[in-house]
Chains A and B, each alone.
Chain A
């Protein structure tokens, strides 16, 4: 301890807004993950405990296409941020719009699935435990997709007016983190609802 390693001004963490933003987003993701964990636990706990039908085996179809849409949107948003880092604003706007489109397609897929379940299969949130836990878990995820889409659209509007530039790359990347998180949650929800639970 007596070795003189003390220098007057050591480079500590910088006053850089992006580091703050990223860390804040990581914390938010931790909190959200805890919320999702509780819903996942409830889903797993109530698997097969419904007193009446319909059951997941009878009514659920694996949404392969829409899952591919959502998961590939993680790639497109990554490419968008990479383009922005290289100051290719045009490429950024195109990749960004593609991300938006893929996310919206996924949400439309959820809407169609729900419409099918409600009108054709007669499964609502009130029908049985499966209905309650399914709509809550998938709905919570869809709500996060929707929030993400609103944020993505805002950025896209700014991009359309030429207001998104290279120096915003770190902030945009922070938002992309959230989007990656939403996609990751879908991997879990997909496994729980459509693979394990079916």
Chain B
């Protein structure tokens, strides 16, 4: 709401304030504006983040000591299934899409996505997919005639999903919700690709796009190639369950292993679908708070494409323990190790960006710094498990759980938190509270390390994942207690975060257009941006158009 931007008649926010609630709601429900849809994606993901967090907390209370019966084994199975499904499909994916939706058109200097109505359609598909999943709690008639949630695990291995082992409709709710939200994801991915390739402002060649845009382009391509196989597999599972097909029915000669292949052909690229946008955030935040241009822009792009490309061919490293042929094992060991190379290049690029920079540890930068360390460690345990013999020992143990939470929480979620703080001023028009932001960071950092550092150890001591409880005296007790204590800190951090968002939205100090002295196009427009984004479509000459504007004596385009 700054004054140095041209406002069109009727676009003033003061008018909006006085409208009846029904009008405002109607506008949000029927909107095709990429910013409103982006915000809805983000808010929707935050709601599910709380739900998924509660599910995790329930599991950790149950596991905090041996022989606890905080919940029944049945409920425990539902909790880990719902936690995994929720966090991947209804937290991480919508967060990623929400950020892409909100920021990509602003960063490439256009007024909306390429297909605004498809955008709204995709959002509502994803939203109703999430509702469908949770409707199973009351709608899916289970064994006892009452509703229950899916309890087959987030990768739903056959034959657990067959009618004989999964009575009632809980698995069908799981299948259908993933199918529906998957179509939503594909729609959004198509939209992102077309927007980036067709709607860039004058002068913004592919090589002049902000890295955030580049990485989201790669992410969208991966979504198209990865989520489609999942949809196909879900269609097959539905055929098995509803039409009496035999795709995954071993009694009729079907194969349970082919479900694993189909699921992980989606499942592993999905990790890159989520982590590449996290990289995208780091690529924007780290340069701005190091006051240096990103180091190795073309290499960064190439490494991202290499990660996506290699990432498509590593899926069966999730299946070493299944017993594949030694040729298959060797291939997937080598391809998995190969992914580490472009990923390592990225880490060095970020470090080189920070090197010699005037680093300002504001909250977004703190989260990105945490991300760098934690993602490195997550990658190292990943390399350990990419070796098939090591994986035979530790596959399906808590070591694996610790590893992928290190990636998803320590890597992806930390970057997404950085994104929240970095773009909150743009989205809300107000600054967040810096001390509260730092408190969030430290609480969450401590909680994260308490939980997930120490989770590796019971894994190495032989504790399998997904067990409901365990015997005392195996050396797991203390570690599990520490892991559970970490949850308290994480939950406290999340509460501080939520309080910060709400307080700052109403009381934060006015941010202005460009609170970070940043360089990409979204900071040229007002905060929050008007419906039309830019009064006049900008024209750019370099990767840092705002630098050029602020430093006409030494613009970037002279050197790029």
Q: Verify A23–B229 contact, CB threshold 8 A.
A: no
Q: Verify B114–A24 contact, CB threshold 8 A.
A: yes
**For this complex, into which size category does the number of interface residues on chain B fall?**
35 or more
Identify which of residues 151-196 in chain B touch chain A, using a CB-to-CB cut-off of 8 Å: 186, 189-191, 193-194
Stretch of A28-36, A73-81, A88-96, A179-187 on the interface side? A28-36
| Residues of the A chain whose Cβ atoms lie less than 8 Å from the Cβ of B539 | 8-9
B250 to chain A, nearest CB (A): 11
Task: Answer whether A45 and B258 are a contact pair too, CB < 8 Å, given A6-B557, A13-B197.
Answer: yes
Q: How many A-B residue pairs have CB under 8 A?
A: 120
| Residues of the A chain whose Cβ atoms lie less than 8 Å from the Cβ of B560 | 1
**For this complex, into which size category does the number of interface residues on chain A fall?**
35 or more
| Residues of the A chain whose Cβ atoms lie less than 8 Å from the Cβ of B190 | 24, 27-28, 31
Instruction: Report the separation of the CA atoms of residues A132 and B239 in the bound assembly, to the nearest whole angstrom.
Output: 8
B405 to chain A, nearest CB (A): 29
| Residues of the A chain whose Cβ atoms lie less than 8 Å from the Cβ of B225 | 30-31, 34
Partner of B233, one of A24, A31, A38: A38
Partner of A35, one of B203, B229, B541, B558: B229
Instruction: Decide yes or no whether B559 CB sits under 8 A from chain A.
Output: yes
Partner of B199, one of A1, A15, A129, A140: A15
Nearest opposing residue in chain A for B223, CB measure: A31
| Residues of the B chain whose Cβ atoms lie less than 8 Å from the Cβ of A49 | 253
Q: Verify B246–A129 contact, CB threshold 8 A.
A: yes
Q: Verify A23–B228 contact, CB threshold 8 A.
A: no
| Residues of the A chain whose Cβ atoms lie less than 8 Å from the Cβ of B558 | 2
Q: Verify A27–B252 contact, CB threshold 8 A.
A: no
| Residues of the A chain whose Cβ atoms lie less than 8 Å from the Cβ of B246 | 126, 128-129, 132
A164 to chain B, nearest CB (A): 21
| Residues of the A chain whose Cβ atoms lie less than 8 Å from the Cβ of B236 | 38-39, 42, 136
- Kindly name the residue among B200, B232, B233, B560 whose own CB sees the greatest number of chain A CB atoms within 10 A: B232
B110 to chain A, nearest CB (A): 9
Q: Verify B194–A27 contact, CB threshold 8 A.
A: yes
Instruction: Report the separation of the CA atoms of residues A13 and B541 in the bound assembly, to the nearest whole angstrom.
Output: 16
Instruction: Decide yes or no whether B124 CB sits under 8 A from chain A.
Output: no
Instruction: Decide yes or no whether B202 CB sits under 8 A from chain A.
Output: yes
Instruction: Decide yes or no whether B73 CB sits under 8 A from chain A.
Output: no
B449 to chain A, nearest CB (A): 39
Task: Answer whether A31 and B253 are a contact pair too, CB < 8 Å, given A9-B202, A23-B197.
Answer: no
| Residues of the B chain whose Cβ atoms lie less than 8 Å from the Cβ of A42 | 236, 247, 258, 262
8 new A-B contacts, CB < 8 A, other than A34-B229, A125-B243, A125-B245, are A1-B559, A20-B115, A23-B198, A27-B224, A28-B190, A31-B189, A35-B228, A42-B258
Binding site for B on A (CB under 8 A): 1-2, 6, 8-10, 12-13, 15, 19-20, 23-24, 27-28, 30-32, 34-39, 42, 45-46, 49-51, 125-126, 128-129, 132-133, 136, 140
Binding site for A on B (CB under 8 A): 114-115, 118, 186, 189-191, 193-194, 197-200, 202-205, 224-225, 227-229, 231-233, 235-236, 239-240, 243-247, 252-255, 258, 262, 265, 539, 541, 557-560
